[in-house]
Structure 1
Amino acid sequence: MTRLLLQKIENRVRILADLRELASAESLDSFTLVYTNILDHQPDCPPEVVEKLVALREGIPRKDAKEVVQECKEIYENSLVDGNPPKTGFVFGKVKSLTAPKGSLWRKLAQ
């Protein structure tokens, strides 16, 4: 019982570690690799998460940022089944700020 509970908790907090890894990625290839790993566990993680994190990072040239975002969008689109994620995760469907208009939480985090 305890082992099952521990595994359930680890699965729930894994996304936090994955997002930390995504936010601290050092190369463009790292962003796409980490994003692919996130989709394995949270298949409904939209590429806008990567877009927002890349925009918050200093030192990433605009051209490179656009390239990594485009690659992540393609990875996401290729993972869809009939236009939808294969399954719904427990995080991203509940994050309202991802669909909020400009000036949302992401912009506040960048300040």
Structure 2
Amino acid sequence: MRSLASIVLAFESVVLALVTPVMISVADIRPAVAIPVCLGLFVLALVAAGLLRFRAGYVLGSIVQVGAVGLGFVVPVMFVLGLAFASFWVAAIVLGRRIEEAKKAHEAQTG
């Protein structure tokens, strides 16, 4: 579960960093607002990826998903990208749990 979730957060962090110039140039948001918001979410995504050993990493990752979707109010394409990454996030958690359960069942059978 952790590896899938970290992949989602890593790719999402790239998107969050790249949306900064879009907010400044296309959405006409002041750099003093756009940089802390977008790069703050970028850093939060990386920190969450590093903390995925703990429950706090998943909580922070979920906060990043809410923030990414929320950016859609400023840059409408972020509704699509944010919802896509939020879907990937949920899928990574659900599929990751299933994979871990299958591994445990397999180990119990063979062990």
Structure with the higher fraction of residues in helix conformation: 2
Higher-Rg member (1/2) = 2
Choose between structure 1 and 2 for higher RCO, CA contacts under 8 A separated by at least 6 residues. 2
Is TM more than 0.5 here?
no
TM-score between both structures, scaled by the size of structure 2: 0.36
